[in-house]
Structure 1
Amino acid sequence: MKKTTIERILNIIIVLSIVGLLVSIYLLYTHIAPPTEGSICDISSTVSCSIVNSSVFAKLLGVPVSLFGAIWFVFLGLISWKAKRQKKLIQGLLPWNILGMLFVIYLIIAEILLKAVCLFCTAVHIITLITFILSIILYKQLSKKDKKKWFKIFKKWIVWIVIINLIPLIIFNVAGGEKKDHSELAQCITDKGVNMYGSFRCGVCAKTRAMFGDSFEHINEIECHPQGENPQTELCLSKNIEGTPTWILEPNGVEEKRFTGFLSIEELAEFSGCNLE
């Protein structure tokens, strides 16, 4: 393979790395940000980034998968950039892309289990698949001697990769401190007669559950989706539920007020008339 062709392939990988990084940053933003508006790719209950990005699969070891994805694309771009001048680095692209494909398989399995498709996630999958194929093409141009030396050459890179990935693990699992217990507030909300009409296909509902953590078990959630667990679709229809989550203050079954959309802990306390300590 000509030197110009190799450099052209490396440039393509660099461009794809930048695109993948930008998509991963957006997914990270939508994962962390309050779900007031959802994602721009929330098209339906089946095609929704919020559903996938707010699910239990969106975190790995307590860290958003999108953050790991962003780090992966950064190193992919750096290795490709360095390989333009140090051709021996090309051999590291294949094992790095194999790791990326493992993440792709993990996310595809997650989408199958959730019965939802995240378009931005799919974009990342396609980008990773393309860079994987390109890395195979480049790897085939290496001599057997070079292929055996990849671990020795990438020792320093491996150390930096481990260090950089340890930082978010520490931040999200150690430095973040203990999560506040909202059990008393959640119990008060239910005692006041507030019900949450939600859906297992609702991304905002998933974020609300995550916001409460284990305390959410005290919240009375009514499943409106017919495919959900213990669905009460007829009740939701009788209540004219047009979107989820819908919070209804209805002591003794008499509706006093309702709100459709995301409510923070403070807003829920005010909505229900509970004290927030």
Structure 2
Amino acid sequence: MKKAAFWVIVLCALAGIGIMSYLTYIHYSQSKSFCDISQEVSCDVVTTSIYSEIFGIPVSVLGLLFFAAVLFLVIKRRDKAFQTLFIVTLFALIPSLYLSLTELIFINSICILCETSKVLMLIIFGASLWASGLDSKAAFRIGVPVLIAGLVAAGVTYFAQTGTVVKKDYSTFIQCLNSKGVVYYKSVRCSTCRRQEMVLGEAYKKINSVECHPDGENPQPELCLSKKISKTPTFLMESGGLEVKRLEGLQQVKDLAAFTNCPVE
């Protein structure tokens, strides 16, 4: 029984390490992932949202550490290793399931690889409980305080993530950008655009913008082609319909201020 559980956990841990390594690469490189299928099913949208980090640490990095720890614990085969895995996995599952809820409720997009990692965690949880030999009473006695701790961790995660939302109102700054003829060219499939919008906060919704991807809302791909938009986000300063200058890629507020001479209050 324990041998079968051992190999199940090892394989799940290795798969989890692979998934989390890939998601970490996507997070930092801002590359397009193979699971960027649509606006509703996109690893890119999820891994670049405000819910992709906890205290500035990518969730994928934390997941990588979790699966690495699982692999270490199961390979060491110390006394009560499976019981320890049961406790660790139960604790980690609660904030992980909270993150699944954020995909459904707040982000409105599903990350296939993220959810696959949750399945791997559930398998590890079940296998470790099975191999630990704990009866139902012992599992309940151990599990309840771990479950409570996991709920607390999920709550801390929520407040840590929502606290990263830009609180400053850049509405006046955006009005200045609009008055200077700045147009924001974006794409619904652009992960860097999500980061750009996080930089500007809710005020980004007021900026003059053009959607370049056919799947986006009110798309104008022909206009983007005519303006020679090769990457998004791109900021064009236009006068009389003609380009004056442009900025490509992720921009901080200070960069946009220098680009337009608009004051940041």
**Aligned match of 1:52:** 46
Structure 2 residue aligned with 1:39: 31
Corresponding residue for 1:157? 146
SS at match of 2:246: strand
Find the aligned partners of 2:71 and 2:175 in 1 and give their Cα distance.
52
2:185, 2:209 within 8 Å by CA — same for their partners in 1? yes
Residue 243 of structure 1, CA deviation:
1.7
Q: Structure 1 64/201 Cα, relative in aligned 2: closer, same or farther at 3 Å?
A: farther
- The alignment partner of 2:213 has SS state of coil
Q: Which residue of 1 aligns with 2:122?
A: 132
TM-score computed with the length of structure 2 as normaliser: 0.70
CA contact (8 A) 1:89 1:153 kept: no
Task: Report the Cα distance in structure 1 between the residues aligned to 2:141 and 2:217, rounded to whole angstroms.
Answer: 52
The aligned counterpart of 2:62 is: 70
Which ranges in structure 1 are unaligned for 5 or more consecutive residues?
A: 31-36
Cα pair 2:186 2:232 within 8 Å, conserved: yes
User: CA 1:77 to 1:150, structure 2 compared with 1: closer, same or farther past 3 Å?
Assistant: farther
Q: Does the Cα contact within 8 Å between 1:88 and 1:146 map onto a contact in 2?
A: no
Distance 1:97 1:125 in 2: 14
Which deviates further from its counterpart, 161-170 or 195-204?
A: 161-170
Q: Does 1:187 align with 2:175?
A: yes
2:212–2:219: 8 Å Cα contact kept in structure 1?
yes
Within the alignment, does 1:85 sit opposite 2:85 as a pair?
A: no
CA apart distance, 1:51: 3.0
Decide whether aligned partners of structure 1 residues 233 and 107 sit closer, same or farther in structure 2, where only a CA change above 3 A counts: same
1:101–1:129 CA contact under 8 A, matched in 2: no
Name the CA distance, whole Å, in 2 between partners of 1:148 and 1:79. 27
> How far apart are 1:239 and its partner, in Å?
1.5
Unaligned 5+ runs, structure 2: none
Measured after TM superposition, the shift of residue 244 of structure 1 is: 1.5
| Residues 76 and 92 (structure 1), Cα distance of their counterparts in 2 relative to 1, 3 Å cut | farther
Report how far residue 135 of structure 1 moved: 3.6
Cα distance in 2 for residues equivalent to 1:99 and 1:130: 14
Give the whole-Å Cα distance in 1 for the aligned partners of 2:256 and 2:262: 8
